[in-house]
């Protein structure tokens, strides 16, 4: 799970590696980022590496 600024520069990596399936919660400390529009992207693969899922969504950071 990575976060990118409006120019496409990676500004944070929130998760990298294997986690258990199910509902997960991730905290994001954005104290060093300016208010604005950011994007987060998640890439998922099954433990066998067969299925994959990728989604990018927009978020608004307001301070």
Confidence of residue 10 (pLDDT cuts 50, 70, 90): very high
Confidence of residue 51 (pLDDT cuts 50, 70, 90): confident
Does the reported pTM lie above 0.75? yes
Q: Which residues make Cβ contacts (< 8 Å) with residue 63, sequence separation at least 6?
A: 34, 35
* Count of CA atoms in the C-beta half-sphere (13 A) of 5: 10
Q: What residue spans define the domains of the chain? A: 2-61
């Amino acid at each position: 799970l990575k976060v990118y600024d409006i120019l496409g520069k990676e500004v944070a990596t929130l998760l990298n590696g294997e986690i258990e399936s199910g509902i997960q919660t991730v905290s994001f400390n954005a104290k060093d980022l300016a208010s604005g529009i950011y994007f987060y992207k998640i890439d998922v693969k099954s433990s066998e590496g067969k299925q994959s899922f990728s989604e990018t969504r927009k978020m608004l950071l307001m301070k």
